[in-house]
Amino acid sequence: MHPASARLINITDGDIEIAGSHVTTSALHTNPVSEASRVRSGVLALPSGTKTYRAERGGPDGSLAVIHMHEAKIIIITI
């Protein structure tokens, strides 16, 4: 079984991965909608200013796994 992964990319500043955003799971499901696994990153420090981000999903090179990402969210809490 190969792990699935996701990460947040800052595309405004040249496709830079946001530190701490990379998450993985090795859960294997036959029905990705009804048996989804929730994976959550830790606290992220986003760069200041207006930015555009992209959520990327994937697996190891050469993996034949089909990876679905549903309802990827960024939750912002200001203190």
pTM exceeding the 0.95 threshold for the entire prediction: no
Domains: count for the chain: 1
| Residue keyed to tokens 């947040």 | 8
Over the Cα atoms of the chain, what is R_g? 14
Contacts of 53 (CB under 8 A, 6+ apart): 8, 9, 10, 11, 18, 74
* Domain span including residue 28: 1-79
CA distances from 15 to 10, 28, 76 (A): 5, 29, 21
Q: What is the pLDDT of residues 6-24, one digit of tens each?
A: 889 999 999 999 999 988 8
Write out pLDDT tens, residues 30-58.
555 566 677 888 888 889 999 999 888 87
